[in-house]
Structure 1
Amino acid sequence: MTTPDPGASPLLTAEGLYVAFPARRRGGSAARPVRAVDGVDLTIGAGEIVALVGESGCGKSTLARALLGLVRPASGRVAFAGRPLVYTPRALKAYRRRVQLVLQDPGGSLNPRHTVYEAVAEGLRIHGCAGDERAAVAGALARAELRPPERFFGRYPYELSGGQRQRVVIAGALVLEPEVIVADEPVASLDASVRGEILALLLRLRAELGLSALVVTHDLGLAWNIADRVAVMYLGRIVECGTAEEVLLSPRHPYTRALLSVLPESPLPPVVLTGEPPDPSRIPPGCRFHARCQVLASGEAERAGVDLRCRSEDPGMVRGPGVACHWA
């Protein structure tokens, strides 16, 4: 089994990544940009699976798109194998052969008019790959555990189960022999009985091919089952990062503790977060979580003498393992 080497250089890196989108104008006033990704550092090592977790709207998918080169950051950089990503069509095409995307909804990402063979072969044709196309497609389907692969060549998406469609999507990524897969909620649309099979497949691909993966999810249970490291994102920033055991067994940030508290077997007292995350175009001063923070609301932060800092002083960014919290 291939395991990540903690001393090795990272394969895929985000450094100070900032992605903003223009906001709608209100009452004729100048619109403030929406800071979807607000200064993120993240690394993925060779053979490593990193889970990026957080609630909807926190910037997870935008960060994933930036790592894929689909969104160009306003500042900061993405680097692959130590080399900064170049945003020319030719360079991006070569890069995307090495870093592939697996989408959440296989029903939406597969063309209903294309057979399984055409869906998997599409990447080979786009990238002009030489060699035996039929053998490459069969090999990718077999690695995605669709066997015998020839039996699936002529089938259409509507003839497949949800799990089989997701395996076709994974095969479409594998056919290009990438080094990294970015999987955006890869099992969210699947039945519980199938989720474990897809997660086991990703782990097997890591073991056999040395494949690295960034798994974007809101499901901390999934992160526990598959990830080497976990990065927790809130309102455009990573607020806690560490090994899966560190983050999920001994969470330090109140937001992480709240997410974990609602899991069925969690030893933590249940926390119900009040209100909605702040408007990302009007991020409040201090800790961006302070308006919803159970530690601040309960008086624990005041007893620790950090309540004023929580409301007025930015705790900074997580660079590598750590937590962005005055109380922690």
Structure 2
Amino acid sequence: MTGAQTSAGPVTTGRAPLLESRGLHVEFASRGRRARAVDGVDLAIGQGEIVALVGESGCGKTTLARTLLGLERPTSGSVVYGGTPLSHRPRALKAYRRQVQLVLQDPMGSLNPRQTVYEAVAEGPRIHGLAGEREIVASALARAGLRPPETFFRRYPHELSGGQRQRVVIAGALALDPKVLVADEPVASLDASVRGEILALLLKLRDELGLSALVVTHDLGLAWNIADRLAVMYLGRIVESGPVEQVLTAPRHPYTQALLSVLPESPERVVLAGEPPDPTRIPAGCRFHPRCQVLASGRAAEAGVDGRCRSEPPAVLPARPGPQAACHYAAEARDAQITRDPG
């Protein structure tokens, strides 16, 4: 995979794209330099599709999610919803946030301990001036699996279990009847016994309401169980994407292979050298090359791509549903396979 660091633009088939990032860059000032938190991302979420965004802490996942929610302004590029670029004018953002809602990982942190469940779920409908508040709250709680909903109206967060609190957070999002949920580590703070229940709820909401979702996580097992498609992020950029089963059973990018190697069933553990680089000093060439096990082992040199790994940045991956990897070695291996087996 070669070429300059320019985006080919979103190209999707199958499900129509509902929420997209196009050539997205987000930078922050850091110690007199610019940190490239999101550094050229094309990503599309189709109608009724769940996309998992995975990667190490600090890779830019949360910044990308916040930008898709309109909470951060892109330095360049755009967020597109329903074919229309997102405007950051207050009135436009308010209307947009009825359609795209956030579900946070820590329900105790996102719920006001002094508010009842009713007040927490009613907050969004009140901000947006929706009529029939009581019916909206009851319906949202019921859809989130808290039944009968009226029995939860007067309860406070500390009176609920962790799973029930997360359902209240989800109900607060559902009260606005959104089309997309952005869930940031939605089960990370929950006991293993209730994680499956929340994941099953998200799948049920997708099936019954046609909701789309972006699930931000470092947990590949969660991605396997919930996502239709997977995007792997490293140092501000998507380095591999595709249908979740294809990416997790036949990963092409060395970084994805390293992430998968920590799973118990993995035959071989890959230990990456060092920490992720400083986003104010992204390496030349492939941004993963200083830690790449394929380059370090000499396999990239054997394939004749080691020089390109160190000097030539792979192109930005377009937002298309098929499997793809931003890796010179993977591209060379793919081309060699096609040459051997052209049929």
**TM tier relative to shorter chain:** over 0.9
Matched residue type, 1:324: A
Q: Which of these residues, 6, 13, 16, is aligned with residue 23 of structure 2?
A: 16
CA distance in 2, matches of 1:80, 1:315: 27
Residues 147-158 of structure 1 correspond to what in structure 2 (within 5 A)?
A: 147-158=147-158
Partner residue, 1:102? 103
CA distance in 1, matches of 2:34, 2:241: 26
RMSD: 1.0
Partner residue, 1:65? 66
Partner residue, 2:172? 172
Partner residue, 2:315? 316
- Summarize deviations over 1:234-291 as a string: whole Å, max 9, x none: 0000000100011111100000000011111234x21011200111001110110011
- Summarize deviations over 1:97-117 as a string: whole Å, max 9, x none: 000000010010000000000
CA distance in 2, matches of 1:314, 1:289: 10
Matched residue type, 1:180: V
Q: Any unmatched runs of 5+ in structure 2?
A: 1-11, 331-343
Residues 1-328 of structure 1 correspond to what in structure 2 (within 5 A)?
A: 6-24=13-31, 31-130=32-131, 132-267=132-267, 269-319=268-318, 320=320, 321=322, 322-328=324-330
CA distance in 1, matches of 2:272, 2:265: 19
CA distance in 1, matches of 2:265, 2:154: 44
Alpha-carbon deviation of 1:314? 0.5
Matched residue type, 2:329: W
CA distance in 2, matches of 1:245, 1:284: 31
User: SS of the counterpart of 1:177?
Assistant: coil
Matched residue type, 1:182: V
TM-score normalised by structure 2 residue count:
0.91
Moved over 3 A (4+): none
- Summarize deviations over 1:76-96 as a string: whole Å, max 9, x none: 000100001011000000000
User: SS of the counterpart of 2:30?
Assistant: coil
User: SS of the counterpart of 1:265?
Assistant: coil
TM-score normalised by structure 1 residue count:
0.95
- Identity rate of aligned residues, in percent? 76
> Number of residue pairs matched?
316
CA distance in 2, matches of 1:234, 1:162: 31
Matched residue type, 2:300: A
User: SS of the counterpart of 1:51?
Assistant: strand
Greater relative contact order, per chain length (Cα 8 Å cut-off, separation 6+): 2
CA distance in 2, matches of 1:229, 1:290: 25
CA distance in 2, matches of 1:8, 1:275: 39
CA distance in 2, matches of 1:280, 1:102: 26
Alpha-carbon deviation of 1:32? 1.7
Alpha-carbon deviation of 1:323? 0.7
Q: Any unmatched runs of 5+ in structure 1?
A: 25-30
CA distance in 2, matches of 1:9, 1:201: 24
Alpha-carbon deviation of 1:6? 4.6
Matched residue type, 1:82: G
CA distance in 1, matches of 2:35, 2:315: 19
CA distance in 2, matches of 1:133, 1:264: 48
- Summarize deviations over 1:125-176 as a string: whole Å, max 9, x none: 011112x211110110011001111111000001111110000000000011
CA distance in 1, matches of 2:317, 2:260: 20
User: SS of the counterpart of 1:112?
Assistant: coil
Matched residue type, 2:181: I
